[in-house]
């Protein structure tokens, strides 16, 4: 649907069949398409673990795994008596409930993490959760935070009003709509497949 004079650039880190895809685009648009790819990530990532109220770096860019950071994070997640060198043998209990890195974190954990990210100017931040329910639970834990300034809050409120005005009167009062609109005013957005499309679009625009 684009005019012929419009050129396109596609960026992807996950498309496996880049050549086939580019050939299809070239045939459709009747233009030559050039594929440029690398075997490494052009923008390096820094991997960290959050434990003991601080970040522990475990990998930087294309470097090797940092055992020191991992051990420090693991030690920070142990019960206090274990950190003090309690070597007494205790019966091991099975089950994932005893693994600190497999739980979603307490309200205090999330509050301290967000405050840390704010201080280090590492916001906006995307938090991934593989559960719609947990996604909303984590956002609910942060309900006492206000990450927007007064000016930002006013702009967001105006935009949410415009968005909700596009809904029918009955839909505009749905609990999901009211909850999401209230959260974004405070700088917290939820985005998952269970949301109304218009709410997902609103969160995406506000995040950008």
Lowest mean pLDDT among 13-17, 84-88, 182-186: 84-88
Whose tokens are 């609990």? That residue is 175
Predicted pLDDT at 104: 65
Model confidence pLDDT, tens digit, residues 143-181: 899 999 999 999 999 999 999 999 999 999 999 999 999
Closest C-alpha to 165, from 198, 194, 204, 197:
198
Describe the chain by its helix, strand, coil percentages, rounded to 5: 45, 5, 50
Task: Please state, for a pLDDT cut of 70, what percent of the chain lies above it.
Answer: 88
- More confident position, 147 or 101: 147
* DSSP notation for 49-93: EEETTEEEEEEETTS---HHHHHHHHHHHS-HHHHTT--------
Predicted pLDDT at 2: 76
Predicted pLDDT at 102: 54
How distant, in Å, are the alpha carbons of 45, 67, 108, 139, 182 from that of 179? 33, 42, 22, 10, 5
């Amino acid at each position: 649907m684009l005019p012929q004079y419009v050129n396109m650039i596609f960026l992807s880190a996950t498309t496996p069949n880049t050549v086939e895809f580019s050939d299809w685009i070239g045939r459709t648009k009747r233009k030559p398409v050039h594929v440029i790819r690398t075997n490494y990530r052009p923008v390096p990532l820094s991997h960290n673990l959050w434990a003991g109220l601080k970040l522990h770096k475990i990998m930087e860019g294309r470097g090797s795994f940092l055992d020191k950071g991992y051990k420090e994070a693991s030690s920070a997640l142990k019960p206090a008596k274990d950190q003090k060198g309690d070597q007494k043998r205790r019966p091991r209990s099975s089950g994932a409930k005893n693994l600190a890195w497999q739980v979603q974190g307490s309200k205090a954990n999330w509050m301290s993490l967000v405050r840390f990210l704010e201080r280090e100017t590492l916001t906006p931040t995307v938090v991934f959760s593989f559960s719609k329910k947990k996604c909303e639970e984590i956002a609910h834990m942060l309900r006492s935070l206000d990450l927007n300034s007064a000016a930002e809050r006013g702009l967001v409120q105006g935009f949410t009003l415009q968005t909700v005005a596009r809904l029918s009167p009955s839909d505009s009062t749905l609990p999901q709509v009211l909850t999401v609109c209230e959260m974004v005013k405070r700088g917290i957005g939820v985005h998952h497949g269970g949301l109304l499309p218009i709410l997902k679009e609103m969160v995406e625009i506000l995040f950008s």
